[in-house]
Structure 1
Amino acid sequence: MTISVDLNADMGESFGPWRMGDDEALLGVVTSANIACGQHAGDWDVMAATMRAAARNGVGIGAHPGFADLQGFGRRRMSLPLDSLGNLVRYQLGAAQAMARANGATVRHLKLHGALANMASESKEMARACYEAALSVAPEIIVMVLAGTAQQAAAAELGCRTACEIFADRAYRDDATLVDRSQPGAVIHDPATAAARMVEMVRAGAIVTTSGKRIPSRIDTICLHGDTPTAVAIARAVRGALNEQGVTLRMFEGATV
């Protein structure tokens, strides 16, 4: 049986003259892009340029909403009422849709960013509020979820199109959530290590945690963070290693979970 998987990256995170990551290089390797919507990172010009480049490269475009926290890069936890949280997601998704349409593209998926994503991976209620908000704007959108967490449970309840994601450059706890960035080894910088982990997980159909535990999981897409200094090298290493194992890299289609 042929195995296929999507390779995605978070990008569009530059702001004005401040540059973050090498989006052009990444877009030559990945099959999907999660583009910042101006609240945790990015701005209107960066969004436009990144979407044009993604469309030019045949890369699937996703909205990547986060907390309104430019200084903290969306990685600081915030407490918002669920209705306000929903509006925050709608606001960013709407901006992404408008910018994509103006540049001859469409937004096909949504993925939560940073602390918002981590909190939603722990709280099904919070995840559901975010996804219901997105679906109220774009009923056919594919929701990208952190596999094996409350995000996936919320998407399953909603019956929406879903893509289950694992991370190439992040370590896992035994509950399938990510090791906090403040902990040693939470972020993986070595391309060879990241590539070997992804081959192991994709072939096993399971998330492998830092303790060695294997959590069986549907795996539709692999993520790496565009702001990591070795992001391009990791992307190339992961793609190369998977191809060597006969795994096809292609854009995910999205299916219910």
Structure 2
Amino acid sequence: MAEPEIDAVVFDVLGTLVDEPAGIRAGIRALDPSLDDPRVERLLALWQRHIDREQRRVLDGVRPYLTSEALDLEAARLVAEAVGVDEPAAVAALARSGCRLPPWPDTVAGLARLAERFPLIGLSNAGRTALLELNAHAGLRWHQALSAEEARTYKPDPAVYQLAVTVSGRPPERLLMVAAHAWDLRGAQRVGLRTAFVARPAGDPPASADRFDVYADDLAGLADQLADF
């Protein structure tokens, strides 16, 4: 990235800006405070497998599109059933934990710093309602927040990245997609966006064959690298 050709920065949200596993763990512990840590981790894995599988089924055309809130409710029912809880209010509270995710320690300050130089676009697999609650709970600052619900599919479907291209009014090569998930950045590359990988504990690290434009340990490091753009 030798030329100052970035007109806007597009951010993944789940896992990149908010600690998704931490929020779900908190919801599981609230559902049953007696659970020990290994059991919580197994239930978290159950939740994550369901979300990943069902989003893939939507992408493959096996099932119609459902919002992230609907998938979270399905996952919450599975987790609650596994611990023997069948109270609807408790299941609903667990499902809402998917929207109440803490930001990573550098997220809020990092977004504020980057927003001084670039328009910031959130681009999330979270549904519209979930994204609103996520943004409010984590204190995320955007100039525009876009949900995959607008495209009725999930990343890495090209239609989701195209939402950011359309809203920005710029060619894709003038947008920088930031994510902690290599699979997400590969999807953005297929649409022509430039890419920045930010390392997170819950992310999907790059493979040896991946070639992204920027690699950063955190948002401060990303902002440093973009300081001249």
The answer, yes or no, to whether TM exceeds 0.5 is no
Q: TM-score, normalised by structure 1?
A: 0.31
Question: Which has a greater percent of strand?
Answer: 1
TM-score for both structures, normalised by structure 2: 0.33
For the pair shown, the structure with the greater C-alpha radius of gyration is 2
